[in-house]
Amino acid sequence: MVNVGIIGGAGYTAGELLRILVWHPTVNIAFVQSTSHAGHPITDVHKDLLGDTNLVFGEADYSAVDVIFICSGHGKTKAFLEQSNLPNDLYIIDLSTDYRPKNNDGDFVYGLPELNKESIETASRIANPGCFATCIELGLLPLAEEKQLSEEIHVNAITGSTGAGQNPTVTSHFSWKNNNVAVYKAFTHQHLAEITESVLQLQPDYSKAINFIPVRGNFSRGIMATVYTDCEWSLEEAKEKYQSYYSEHPFVSISNVIPDVKQVVNTNKCVLYLEKHGDKLMIVSVIDNLLKGASGQAVQNMNIMFGLNEKEGLGLKPVGF
């Protein structure tokens, strides 16, 4: 049994962790820390867990756990680690951006299992990747592994609303977002840094631009990225290389038909699809931003760190519709 604690238990990614972990067969949830909701049942905030758990938000007790998931929000983990007197042997999985850069000062391993599984197996601290980053990197890794990247990469990715968190804003207002789409942070999205680092980890000589246009979609969950770049492989070669690259990675599938984003919603899966047009290879990549793009991947990392089956607790029923 792995004893886990959650820091910052009232947010979206914490809620999603709880939805997974209450059913995880080898996990015991020892505490769900929340400053703002301490003393209240977690079902006051995560109402859909009514009937599934009687957990109450409380204080952190590090002596009771093997691992903590930090869900406090971007920019807060570093201060948290400095202020908390954490046991040396406590495992940490951080869902924020703070320690994702390779040269972080905390010995955090970038927790994309399809890139770094061996390092994750022996790591005690994981920086869980970003949602856009996960979706796009999974589309590019086989190309970088084979040093096939030579020209600029063109990415357009549309994300569900939960990617922006629970804070109510103008663009999270239903009356605005319903039936609506809009571009944001074009060419400048903060996930470009980790995408670039992951590509360079496999193909250090790649030096062209990755042009990335993020789009706010009018759905709750999911990301669909379309990626294309010049590639010498035929479509058949490309499919073989992708199949081969992901053959040991149970959450990534190559589809022979165009995938849609809902196909992976409420699962930890990534579905990839390839087309070749002239010199261009197009990759479509779909994930659930809260699962493979956040909390599901965090549990996948935990499974790997603790020597469990990578899929344990992640056999999730897709929503389908």
- What is the nearest approach in angstroms of a copy of itself to the Cβ of residue 115? 19
Contact pattern from residue 99 through residue 138 relative to a copy of itself, giving x for each residue in contact according to CB under 8 A and a dash for the rest: ----------------------------------------
DSSP assigned state of 318: P
- What is the nearest approach in angstroms of a copy of itself to the Cβ of residue 233? 16
Name which of 244 and 255 has its Cβ closer to a copy of itself: 255
- What is the nearest approach in angstroms of a copy of itself to the Cβ of residue 97? 20
Distances (CA, A) of 26 to 4, 22, 132: 10, 10, 29
249 residue type, one letter: H
Residues ≥6 apart with Cβ < 8 Å to 91: 66, 67, 68, 124, 125, 302, 305, 306
Name which of 38 and 213 has its Cβ closer to a copy of itself: 213
Q: Which of residues 254-313 bind a copy of itself (CB under 8 A)?
A: 255, 257-267, 269, 271, 275, 277-278, 280, 282, 284, 290
Q: Which of residues 142-161 bind a copy of itself (CB under 8 A)?
A: 154, 156, 158, 160-161
Q: Which of residues 194-253 bind a copy of itself (CB under 8 A)?
A: 209, 211, 213, 215, 217-222, 224, 226, 228, 250-253
Name which of 58 and 222 has its Cβ closer to a copy of itself: 222
28, 35, 54, 166: residue in contact with a copy of itself (rule CB under 8 A)? 166
- The dihedral built from the CA positions of residue 33, 165, 304 and 105, taken in this order, carries a sign that is negative
- How many residues bind to a copy of itself according to rule CB under 8 A? 85
Would you count residue 320 as binding a copy of itself (CB under 8 A)? yes
Please answer whether residues 81 and 90 qualify as being in contact, where contact means their C-beta atoms are separated by less than 8 angstroms. Answer: no
- What is the nearest approach in angstroms of a copy of itself to the Cβ of residue 321? 4
112, 298, 304, 316: residue in contact with a copy of itself (rule CB under 8 A)? 316
Closest to 9 in 3D by CA, of 49, 242, 25: 49
Name which of 86 and 186 has its Cβ closer to a copy of itself: 186
Give kind and range of the element (H or E) at residue 61. none
List, in sequence order, the alpha helices (H) in 62-122: 77-83, 113-122
Q: Which of residues 44-103 bind a copy of itself (CB under 8 A)?
A: 46-52
The verdict on whether 131 is a catalytic residue reads: yes
Residue/partner pairs of 243-249 with CB below 8 Å, 24 or more apart: 244/142, 245/114, 245/141, 245/142, 245/145, 246/114, 246/142, 246/272, 249/113, 249/114, 249/117
Q: Say how far apart CA 188 and CA 317 lie, in whole Å.
A: 35
Give the interface segment with a copy of itself, choosing from 31-39, 84-92, 178-186, 199-207 (CB under 8 A): 178-186
The catalytic residues are: 131
